[in-house]
Every structure is written in structure tokens, then in C-alpha cells.
Amino acid sequence: MNVFLQLVKITGSSVEPSVDEKKRSKAFGVVMGILIMLLIFIPVAFFVGFMVYALTNGLVNLGGEDSVSAGLSLMLHIVALFSVVFGFSVVMSVFYFSSDLNYLLPLPISPMKIIGAKLASTMLSENVMECILVFSALVGFMIGYGFDPPAGGGINAVSFIAAVFGVVTFPVVPISYCAVICLIVMYFSKFLKNKDRVSKLTAFSTIAILIVLVVCLNLSNGFDTNVFVNQLMNNELRIVNVLDKIFFNVPLLSHAMAGSIVSLLLYIVVNAASVGIVLLLASKLYFPAVIALGGGEGAASTKEESGEKLDRQLKQSSPLMTYFKKELKILFRTPAYMSNCIGINLIWPIFIYLFFILQKQSNFLGDTIDKLQTADEETVLYATLLVFGSSVILTALNCLASSAVTREGRHFEVMKYMPVDIMTQLNSKALVSIVISGIGLVIYIVTAFTIIHIDFRLTIYCVLLSVLAVIYSTYLGIYIDTINPKLIWEDEVNALRGNYHVFYNMAMELILTAVVCALSIGLYKLGFLPVFFIQTVIMLIAAYLSFQFYLMCKTKGVKNIENIEM
């Protein structure tokens, strides 16, 4: 096989399940794959497609032939932005921190080839969700624009060719951006000489970029659909104009979709040029930075320690507490876990702020708060369901539970030879997820409810409900991870990214949350039952689910672990 293809296979192999894992999980994987498709991918794709369709249709009806693809551009910009924000950590990890470098660097392979292969494998790993999003946006545009719109034009053969190119090559420019920035930053940050410091810096920079982006959205006037479409048509939306200059591939693809063959050719040239620039930069900057990071783990201290200090440090705790402390230390000290499992809990206020500025025009939040303060029954019910749903989903999103066993990796056997029963070990992992997710949620709920002066009893109820929801979501996540943990991984980022259990867990949580919401709203609307009664039912359901999933971990989960042989 060609050296380049071999390299793509090697550098991408760590995100693929091993043969044994594939065998273990065949039936389970098929069922969960269908659920994920139905509950996550299809709704998201449908939403994206519908948004682009609605915007394009609005622009066509307003007669703006020149700006008919503005809605598509906006959606593609959002996809590109997310690719860049989430692509940074992947590119950094694949380029600079993957363990395959120890084997690749001594081989007589040029930096250009290594980076080319790593770039290709990063794009392949990024491509699944992005393909779905871009595909649905393009379909939404094609339906919205049509073959024969009233103002002339319409999609043609070029649109179909552009659609194929677009779906396949869309990540090229965003990921190339990440690659170029990483190559330059890493070259000039050689002095850091420590992988952990660089990783932490990347994580903080990503959060900072996200904050700056949200603040720069400059939506202080709120969101009004009519104003928004008019701004789009007249090219007055500042953020889109700025993004057009940053992601110059997007307007080219959008125009190509509207039938411009020149734009299509330029789109292809731009993609090829992006890869060319990355490879050219790599040939100059890659090896010096990688080699500087070579001794990244530092050296053990040689300073003489006093006997008293050692005596102070050697203290006795219970097995549960010692496992709990061990898990916490590893999570906080491993950059990939720190950013993906701990740091992610800190970014939700940014999205709440985004929601706050988006709804300013309609004052939806203000009206809801007023209703909550006067204890309007329906609003209280929806607030209860929101607390329940968000507690469950946010716990699932930080993947502390659904990667609990996977994180053990190659030293999974330690779980087996320690004289501590498996359930105690699983409980310690559960405790970590409950404490980290729970503390974050309780702080958010108490802060928000105190600021908006919500009744003390409702606050206490929501805190208790949130804690129970976190417990049930945690034990469900851990149980799912015991079925088929991904124990062979090259680095911690791959332990999380190559782990489909986060999706499986999310799919299960979404089903259960949907059932609870449907049941509660049904009881309220059709059963005419008082909200207090329904709140009690929701609390009981959360308690029941927590207990049931705890029992599942204790029986089947423990069995699953005992049956795993490495």
C-alpha cells in the first residue's frame, strides 16, 4: 500500500474500535446506531435543512436573486465556526500529542507526508456529523430555491456537482485554518516544552474564542425574523460579512449551489490551495516543534524530601474515598479530560448568555420570569421539565459517566486485580460524575433562581430533582460504558472522541426525557391534574430511575466488567 495511505490508516486507527470490541458490541452497536440516527442525527439534520429552506424561500419570495444563497451561507458559516472551535483540540492532539509520533519520527518520512496523513485522518474523523449538516443545508437550499423560481435562475447541473464537492470537502478549509494556526503557534511556543501546558493553553484559548465569538455576535437588538431576512438580503448582517471574509470557501460554495460554474471552480482551487499551504508550512515548522516537545513529561524531582513530609502525605482513607480522589486527580491533571469532562461544565453560562441576547426582542425570558414569580402553573411545570431535562442532558454531555470505564484504557486490569469489589469502584466513578455535574447544576439553579427571585420551595424542589436526574443519568452512562468500553486508545482525546457511548448515552437520555415530558404534559393538559401532583410524579420517576440504573450497574454492569478479558 502507498506510504501516504498507510499513514492515514495508522494515524486514524486509534479512533476505530478494535476487532474484539467490534465483536462484543455488534448487536448493541446496531440498535444504538439506529437510535442515534433517529434521535440525534435526523432531528438535527431536519432542523438545519428546514432553517436553510425557510430562509432561502423567504429570500426567493422577496425577489432577491443575488442574495438568494445568503441563508445557506449563514448556516455553512455556523458549521465552519463549530468545525474550527472543536477542530483545534483534535488537530493539536493528532498533530502533536498522539503516541504514534514516537514511532513515526524516527522513520525516513517527510514532515509533509506525516502532516498530510494526519490532516486527512482528522478530516475523516470530523466528517460524519459535518457531512450530515452540510448535506441537509444543501438539500434545504435546493428545495427552497427550486428549478424555476419566479425571479429567474434556479438550481442546475452545477448545483448538483457543487453539492457533491461541498459535502465531501467542506471541512478542508476550517480544518486547514486549525492546522495553520496550530503549526505557527506550536512553532513559536517551543519554549513551553511541556505538552500539558500547551494542552491547557489550547483549552483555555478555545473557551476564550467561544466567549469572544458570542460577545462579537453583536445581537444586542435581539432577534427578529423579518429584520433578519431583510438584513441578509441587503448584505447588512455584519457577522455574515465578516465570516464571508474568514471562510471564503462558504460564499463560493453558496454561489456554486446557485448555479455559478466560476464559483465552483474557484471553490475547488481554494480547497486545494488550503491543503497546499498547510503542507508547505508543515515542511518548515512541524519537526522543530514536535522535537522540542519530545521530552514533554519533564523529569522527576531530585530534591531531597524530608521524612516528616513523607509521613504527613501517607494517610489512610476508605477504598471508596481513595478511588474517588484518584479519579478526581486524574481528571483534573489530564488536559483532555480537564477540557472535555470538567471544562465543558463551565461553558453553559456562555450559551445561556447567547440565548439571553437572542430573545431580547421578544422578551420571552422576561415574560417567563414574571409568570414563574407569580407561580403560574403551566410555567412552573415547564421550568420543572427544563430543570429535569437539562440536568440529564448536561450530565450526559460531559461524558464523565459514559467514559468512566473507557478511561481506564490499557490498565483496565487494575480494576480486576485490586481487592476491592467492582461495584465500589463503579460507585467511586459515579460519585465523581455526580459531584462534578451536580455541583455545577446546583450552582446554576440556585444562582439563577435567586437572581430572578423564585419561590424558595420551588428552588429546593428543583435542586433535589436536578440531583436525582444527575444520579440517574450517571448510572445509566456508567452502565452503558460497562457493556463495551473502548479500552484500546492511543491518547486521552481518542478515549473520549472515539467513544460512541457518549452518543448512546445521549440517545437513551433523550428517549427517557421525552417520555417524562410527554407524560407530565399529558397529565397536565388531559388529566387536569394539579402541577404539585405532577411534580411529585416527576420526582418519583427520577428516584425510581436512579435506583433502577444503580441496580443495573450493580448486577449486569459488574458482570459485564468481570467478563471483559484483555
Quick one: which segment of 242-250, 297-305, 480-488, 498-506 binds another protein (CB under 8 A)?
A: 297-305
Residue located via cell numbers 460531559: 398
Establish if 220 lies at the interface with another protein (CB under 8 A): no
Which of 488, 305, 329, 330 lies closest to 412 in space, CA to CA?
A: 488
Q: Does 313 bind another protein (CB under 8 A)?
A: yes
Measured from the CB atom, the residue of 148 and 565 that comes closer to another protein is: 565
The answer to whether 99 contacts another protein (rule: CB under 8 A) is no
Nearer to another protein, 176 or 427 (CB): 427
Check: CB of residue 396 under 8 Å from CB of residue 402. Answer: yes
Tell me how far, at minimum, the Cβ of 378 lies from another protein, in Å. Answer: 49
Distance set, CA 402 to CA 25, 273, 388, 414, 429 (Å): 15, 40, 19, 19, 10
Q: 65 — phi, psi (to 5°)?
A: -65, -35
- By residue count, the chain amounts to 566
414 makes contact with another protein (CB under 8 A) = yes
Q: What Å distances lie between residue 375 and 425, 442, 462, 531, CA to CA? A: 43, 21, 14, 10
Of 48-56, 226-234, 315-323, 397-405, the window that binds another protein (rule: CB under 8 A) is 315-323
Binding mask 545-564 for another protein (x = CB under 8 A): -----------------x--
Q: How far is the CB of 20 from another protein (least distance, A)?
A: 8
Cell of 425: 469502584
- When asked if residue 103 is in the footprint of another protein (CB under 8 A), the reply is no
Please count the other Cβ atoms lying within 10 Å of the Cβ belonging to residue 369: 18
Contact status: 417 vs another protein (CB under 8 A): yes
Cα–Cα dist 336/491, whole Å = 9
Q: Closest approach of Cβ 320 to another protein, in Å?
A: 9
Query: Interface with another protein by CB under 8 A: which range of 299-307, 362-370, 467-475, 539-547?
Result: 299-307
Under a CB-based contact definition with an 8 Å cutoff, are residues 48 and 137 in contact? yes
How far apart, in whole angstroms, are the C-alpha atoms of residue 131 and residue 342?
28
Residues contacting residue 51 through CB under 8 Å, at least 6 positions apart: 71, 75, 140
Residue 367 makes contact with another protein by CB under 8 A:
no
**Least distance CB 208 / another protein (angstroms):** 25
Contact 505, 477 (CB under 8 A): yes
Closest CA to 118 of 195, 7, 6: 7
Q: Which is nearer to another protein, 107 or 418 (CB)?
A: 418
Q: Give CA–CA dist 198/191, Å, rounded.
A: 10
- Note whether 300 binds another protein by CB under 8 A: yes
- Options 321, 386, 439, 514; binder of another protein; rule CB under 8 A: 321
Nearer to another protein, 108 or 419 (CB): 419
Using the rule CB under 8 A, which residue among 27, 157, 191, 311 binds another protein? 311
Q: Which of residues 73-92 bind another protein (CB under 8 A)?
A: none
Residue 78 C-alpha cell reads as 455556523
Torsion 177-358-47-480 (CA) sign: positive
Binding mask 324-363 for another protein (x = CB under 8 A): -xx--xx--xx-----------------------------
Under rule CB under 8 A, which residues in 13-32 are in contact with another protein?
Answer: 20
Q: Which is nearer to another protein, 245 or 303 (CB)?
A: 303
Q: How far is CA 115 from the centre of its chain?
A: 24
CB of 97 to another protein, least distance (A): 13
Question: Which residues bind to another protein, rule: CB under 8 A?
Answer: 20, 297-305, 307, 309-311, 313-319, 321-323, 325-326, 329-330, 333-334, 410-411, 413-414, 416-421, 562, 565
